[in-house]
Amino acid sequence: MDLFFQIWGGVFYLANKILLAIAEGKAQKAKRFLKLSGWSIYILGVPAWVIILVSKQNWIAASIEVGGVPSMLLGLYSVYKKSSVSPRRLDLFAKLVTYASLVLGVGYSIHEYGGINSVTQCLEIGVMVGFLLGSYFLARNQTYGWLFFVLMNGSMASLMFIQSKPILSIQQLCSLCFAVYGYIVAIKTNKRIISTR
C-alpha cells in the first residue's frame, strides 16, 4: 500500500510542477489551460501525501499539505477568472489558513518531540516555508514563488530519502528541476514584457 501512495502522490505532484513550469512561457490561452490543470492535479495528490507524512509522524509537513489547499484553490480561482488580483476575502482566507497551519504544524511537532531536535524536523520546516510561501506567491502570479518551491523540493527530497521513500525522493528532485526551469522562464518572460513597453 505504501508503494501505491508514493506513486499516487509522486505522479500528481510532479505533473503539477511540469504543467506550471511549462505554462510560464506560453501564450495566454495555453498558459491558462496549463495552470488550471496544474492547480487541479496538485489538489488531487494531497490525500496521498498527507497519508504518507502522517504515517511517518511528519506533523509539520502534513499540516502544510492540508494548509496549502486554500492557496491552491486561490491559484485555481485566479486562473479560472483570468485575474491577477484575487478577491480580498479569498486572499485573506488563504493567508489565515497558511499562517494557522504554520503555527499548528510547528507547535504540534515541538510538543510531540520536546522541541526542534531532529534533522527531519528541520527539513520539514524547509518544506513548510517553501511550500506555503511558494504556493501563495505563485497563486498571486509573483515569480519568486518558484524560489520557495526550490527550497521545498530540496528539503522534501532529503526528508523522503532519509525516511526510505525512494520514489518520492526522486520525484522531488525532478520537481526541483522543473521549479528552477519555471523560475528561469518566468524571469525571461518578465524581462521580455518589460523591454517591449
Tell me the pLDDT tens digit for each residue of 130-155: 987 887 787 777 888 999 999 999 99
Question: Cβ of 123: how many Cβ atoms within 10 Å?
Answer: 23
pLDDT given at position 52: 93
pLDDT given at position 98: 76
Q: At CB < 8 A and 24+ separation, what contacts does 15-18 make? A: 15/41, 16/41, 16/42, 16/45, 17/149, 17/153, 17/174, 17/175, 17/178, 17/179, 17/182, 18/178
- Full domain range(s) for residue 178: 2-195
SS3 193: helix
pLDDT given at position 136: 75
pLDDT given at position 135: 76
pLDDT given at position 176: 95
Residue segments in the chain with a per-residue pLDDT below the cut of 50: none
In the chain, how long is the greatest CA-to-CA distance? 55
pLDDT given at position 84: 61
pLDDT given at position 133: 83
pLDDT given at position 189: 84
What is the count of structural domains for the chain?
1
pLDDT given at position 197: 65
pTM of the model: 0.79
